[in-house]
Structure 1
Amino acid sequence: MLNKITWQEGKVLSLKLKDDLFTLVQMRKNFYLQFFDLRSAQDTWTDVDLEKADTLFFIFTSTKALKGLAVSTQSQEKISLDKRSAEKKMLRAIIGGDYGADLIELTDSFETLDATTLKTNLIVADDLDIIYKYELSGMIGDPEKLKNRLINYFDNGINWDTSKEFLFKGIPTPPAKIKNEQP
């Protein structure tokens, strides 16, 4: 495990989720992380082009949430950075009264405070696809929550933040992604 993690835009870390499961994450602006649909049985990554990899999700997180998961920093000689635009649409939680979320668009500096509201008061009956597609804008600080979410995806194909179940009572878990088996 890495003893110290400093934030640097473009830095790529290898995360150990369990003994035979590693994945990559790229640091973007303002504590915004990009997670990829990439897995390895070992902490060995060569000739990986992150621009060609599918993105699982973008979330805000603290370096604390990466401690205990990050095992190495990846060299840009072995890993090509993803330079595609980061996702700017997110869900802003509504807490109290009628729980739920609004769909927002982050500022160019990836700030949530001055984000533009695109749609208010999302509801499961009308907005399920939006709720499934976009991430909550709050910062994740719990490494176990992050680890469990990633393991669930890599083991079961379900990319799901269980925090949404608190905001949207009775929401069904999204279907598993059908994965193409690699030879």
Structure 2
Amino acid sequence: MAKRITWKEGDLVSLKLRDDLYTVGQMIKNSVMRFYDVRSVNGIWSDLVLDDSKILFSGFVGKVVTQRLAVEKLQPTTPLVLSDHERYWLRPHVNFEGGFPFRGADLIDTGKDCAIDYSLAPVRQKDLKLSKNRDAIEQYELTNMWGDDDLSDRLCRYFDTGLNRDDLKFEVFPGLWTDRESLQPLTRRLPVPLR
């Protein structure tokens, strides 16, 4: 059972994804956690330095992530520096036409200090379209909250295959990627019938 971990901006946590795979998350503002391209088979992080480690992505996470995946706090080695991973987000549109509940999105800006709530953040680009905004759609993360299972699925898939993307985008932006069938079953980010 994981220890009780209190959220403190800049803190690092060791995340147990499965028995032989751990990674590191960093607590940012407003329930945002940053994930790095670092792994361990046993959760032992001697001489952990993240300065040169690639940031995989950042995402809004529920408490269940720290309750079920975080096994211990780690000592930060450098001060927290915020990046575009925490500033720019895709805020999906509610789909009132039936089918999947979200369709399309706006690119929003939570500010250089990432302090603006994503629901109130100003729109940087409205109604992104695959034909014009594919790069932004692929680059930035959705504001939809991550739980422990779907986050673990995404990170395990990355460390196993090198593929780093949010399966929710298959439905929010139909046609974004054409390899859906070859990836099935998809991560628990999608409900069962869509995996």
TM-score range, shorter chain: 0.7 to 0.9
TM-score by length of 1: 0.85
Query: Residue type matched to 1:120 in 2?
Result: K
SS at match of 2:137: helix
Match of 1:105 in 2: 109
Say whether residues 1:86 and 2:86 are aligned partners.
no
Identical amino acids, percent of aligned pairs: 35
Counterpart Cα distance in 1 of 2:59 and 2:14: 16
Per-residue CA deviation, residues 111-156 of structure 1 (Å, 9 max, x unaligned), is 213312111111222222111110011322x211000000111111
Counterpart Cα distance in 2 of 1:84 and 1:10: 9
Say whether residues 1:154 and 2:159 are aligned partners.
yes
Match of 1:118 in 2: 124
SS at match of 1:50: coil
Deviation, structure 1 residue 26: 0.6
Match of 1:178 in 2: none
Per-residue CA deviation, residues 51-97 of structure 1 (Å, 9 max, x unaligned), is 22110111111221232211121134xxx145222330010001215
SS at match of 1:138: coil
Flag the structure with higher strand content. Answer: 1
Contact 1:51/1:83 (CA < 8 Å) preserved in 2?
no
Match of 1:180 in 2: none
Counterpart Cα distance in 2 of 1:110 and 1:46: 35
Q: Select between 143-152 and 83-92 the one with higher mean Cα deviation.
A: 83-92
Say whether residues 1:50 and 2:50 are aligned partners.
yes
Match of 2:184 in 1: none
Counterpart Cα distance in 2 of 1:82 and 1:148: 29
Counterpart Cα distance in 1 of 2:178 and 2:12: 30
Give the alignment's Cα RMSD to 1 decimal.
Answer: 1.8
Contact 1:26/1:34 (CA < 8 Å) preserved in 2?
yes
State the aligned residue count: 170
Contact 1:49/1:82 (CA < 8 Å) preserved in 2?
no
Counterpart Cα distance in 1 of 2:138 and 2:165: 8
Deviation, structure 1 residue 173: 6.1
Contact 1:92/1:102 (CA < 8 Å) preserved in 2?
yes
